A and B are shown apart, each in its own frame.
Chain A
Amino acid sequence: MAGLFVRLKLRLIAGNLRGDTMRQVGFVFTLIAAFLVAVGGLLLMSLLRLAPADVAVDAGMVTFTVLTLTWIAGPLMVFGVDDTLDPARLTLFPLTPRQMAVGMFAASATGPWPLATLFFLAGAVVGLSRTATGALIGVVAVILQAALCLVASRAVTTALSRVLRSRRGRDLLAVGVVFVFLLTQLPNLLLNQGLGADPRLMLAELASVVRWGPPAMAAHAIADGGLAGLAEIAVVALVVIGLWWLWIAALRRTAVTSDSSTLVGSVGRSRFDALLPGGALGAVVAKELKYLRREPRGRMGWLAAVGFAVIFTFSLFSDPSGSPGAAVTLAPGCLAALMIGLQSANAFGIDGRALWMNAIVYASPRDVRTDLAGRHLAVCVVAVPLLAVLSIGAALIAGDVLWSLQATAAATGLLLVGLGTGAVTSVILPYTYPDRLNAFTSAAPGQGGAAFAGAFGAMIVTSVLALPFLLPALFGVGWIGLLAVPYGLVVAWAGRRLASVIGYARLPDLLGAVSRPS
């Protein structure tokens, strides 16, 4: 059974790569990354041998724990449910849960990352063991630790696979991804605040927190090498068996339950819509505002923009050497404006396959222009107050609320320039947003190049077009910022005009480009 599943997994990997250069390149990068992790991990962990014994064991315990957590969170956050391991696809085969668990464990252990993990951990045997028995216990501990990573990761994915397959679950997860990215910025902030004065002390504290978790016990067992070590790996083994049992139970349960999340929930009828102008423009604004709230991929972008701007604000002003001033106040708002503007670099992508509903109606460039104007208006309705709040926040910290005026104006101008540029890239380099979220590509297979060129091009052009008001503002000519808004309006208008002519002419191409299967 195990051999069959391993072959199935290998064949799925090969099948995924066939005839698709982008994926082949991606896979090569994965292999290189896994190789680097394997070799780098092996070396670094081995080097712990040179450190004092107590530091080595602390570092080992923390590393083992982090590795386990990465295994648990990684597949959830980055890939959603891994296709090859979705048990729902296997439920129709006459397999006992035990066979399925053995098979899926074998399949999980096949691939570059499990192998890299094993190498990484093997370094710990060299780095942590101080005696011959320690090395022997180490080999067992490392195998158990690798199994722990796999089983824990699989058990959690399986238990959550029902949630992950449901629409609501995936919506929630999408927002979760942003928080994880933001969390990765936390250590940075803490270090900036001067909390990391003594790294050695911090390591010891961290180690004491994780000391009695199974991964830390595995690491400690290698260093201990005595009876205590044996007891510790026995505990780890028990945990692995326990998780395995939980995993089988979860498999058994997912096999016979289904997604019921779509049976609930209505949306309220919006009263705000009545305030919008009638006709096509108002309709597009209303639709876009709803999509901002309800489309997880869109929400992700907004959350990321605001989150990074807030973090940026704190790190900017917590740096003691930096001199807060009017120019610095510009930064958070402009960063958020640039990120929000960039989301419009593929404006039709969020519509995706539904774009035909517009294409079937639009009979002149003017219609496309109205559509783009509606989208821009919707973005501005939400973004401008947001930019104002960010700028006021930054100005308050910097010391003068009045600075927020020019900061808001500059950020709004930058946003408008971004929208104008984005309108043009949207029709020149349209691409499909994949239904499934994936950290490595934001486009359908084969369109990664277009996505990259679109985002990068939009960023460069936006920055260059914004220089006329950003440069003087940075050098302290504050009042120039007030000209940013009219300037931005002109650029946005010109962008829409150009985009509507190009876009209308290639409406069928546009439709094809944003509705690729993904």
Chain B
Amino acid sequence: MTDFASGDGASGGSGFAEAVRTYGLFKRFGGQIAVAGVDLVVPRGGFAGLVGPNGAGKTTTLSMITGLLVPDAGSATVGGADVWRDPVAVKARVGVLPEGLRLFERLSGRELLLYNGQIRGIPRDEVARRAEELLKVMDLLDSADKLVVDYSTGMRKKIALAAALLHNPAVLFLDKPFEGVDPVSANTLVEVLRRYTASGSTVIFSSHVMELVERLCDWVSVMNQGRIVAQGPLAQVRGAGATLNDTFLDLVGARGNGEEGLSWLGSSSA
């Protein structure tokens, strides 16, 4: 593992304050090990990317950090509080946009935000004010009274992000936030997230889009087969000269297939 974090991590006291840290997170589904001892470190403030091929364990890891899935072994802390021993502190501090956009389909966008804010104990008037602003920023005012079940993918991501931001969390976990989103919506999401991190909050997102990770992130963790294979500041993980995509393909060992065979492909005579 190429770990640029361990040298100057919080344990050394010289580097940065941690937003998230996990210790040997482990999860097995049946006979398959999904996450095989993950030690994830994410510094406070800015964007951190979690990248890896399909099935690397990114979603499972994020689910365990946010308290939606019980790990078989290991622990996780958010802002120094243990996810499983101090859930009150952690749950108030995190916002989540999970994979698959599972929302309350039969509420309208506005109702969804109101519901979310109120079960978090925010006064109704305050929730309404924040919801209105979020809807406006997300460009959802016209569809605010449509049922979420009728939303498009881009709209769903935006309303889910609005719901995740409503209580102003210190750390935001986003599972593939930009996949399936049109460029206009993606731009809106990025703008909102930039404003959010500017004040010292942290965004941790998983993605397959290397260009986006390269453009947004200050910090990258690369996962493969249930482990972290590299993590640290973007420039260090990327190395000199290469693109993040090249470094990523090298790290996960996926180079040089697809050259043999397929000789029939490309001449559309048949």
Q: A: which residues have CB within 8 A of B?
A: 167, 262-263, 265-269, 273, 278-280, 282-284, 286-287, 290-291, 294-295, 351-354, 356-364, 367, 371, 508-509, 511-512, 515
Chain B residues, CB < 8 A from A280: 118-121
In the assembled complex, how far is the CB of residue B134 from the closest CB belonging to chain A, in whole angstroms?
16
Asked if residues A508 and B68 are in contact (CB atoms below 8 Å), the reply is yes
Q: Which of B119, B146, B147 contacts A284 (CB 8 A)?
A: B119
> What are the residues of chain A within 8 A of B88 when measuring CB–CB?
363-364
User: Are B106 and A291 interface neighbours, CB within 8 A?
Assistant: yes
| Closest beta carbon of chain A to B152's beta carbon, Å | 8
Please measure, in the bound complex, the distance between the C-alpha atom of A244 and the C-alpha atom of B175, giving whole angstroms.
49
Indicate if the CB atoms of B124 and A278 lie closer than 8 Å.
Answer: yes
Tell me if A287 and B91 are in contact (CB < 8 A): no
> What is the CB-to-nearest-CB distance from B122 to chain A, in angstroms, rounded to a whole number?
9
B117-133: which residues lie under 8 A (CB-CB) from chain A? 118-121, 123-124
Residues in chain A near residue B92, CB distance under 8 A: 363
Once A and B bind, how many residue pairs between them come within 8 Å at the CB atom? Answer: 101
CA distance A357 to B94 in the complex (A): 12
B23 touches A (CB below 8 Å): no
Q: Nearest B residue to A435 by beta-carbon distance?
A: B105
B186 interfacial contact with A, CB 8 Å: no
Inter-subunit contact A354/B103 (CB<8 Å): yes
Interchain CB contact under 8 A, A351 and B104: yes
Which residues of chain B have C-beta atoms less than 8 A from A266's C-beta? Answer: 108, 143, 145-146
Cβ–Cβ contact B121 & A508, under 8 A: no
**B146 proximity list for chain A (CB < 8 A):** 265-267
CB <8 Å contact, A290 and B111: yes
- B78 to A: closest C-beta gap in Å: 12
Q: Which residue among A367, A371, A515 has the maximum number of chain B CB atoms within 10 Å of its CB?
A: A367
**11 additional contacts (CB under 8 A) given A278-B118, A290-B106, A356-B68:** A268-B145, A273-B114, A291-B104, A357-B104, A358-B119, A360-B67, A360-B94, A363-B90, A363-B91, A508-B67, A512-B69
B4 within 8 A of A: no
Interface string of B161-177 (1 = CB under 8 A from A): 00100000000000000
B124 contacts across to A, CB distance below 8 A: 278-279, 282
Contact A279 B121 (CB under 8 A): yes
Provide the bound-state CA to CA distance between A227 and B68, in Å.
74
Chain A's nearest CB lies how many Å from the CB of B83? 11
Bound CA span A358–B88, Å: 13
Q: Which of A273, A286, A360 contacts B68 (CB 8 A)?
A: A360
A354 contacts B118, CB within 8 Å? no
Docked Cα-Cα span, A371 to B70, in Å, equals: 22
Are the CB atoms of B150 and A283 closer together than 8 Å? no
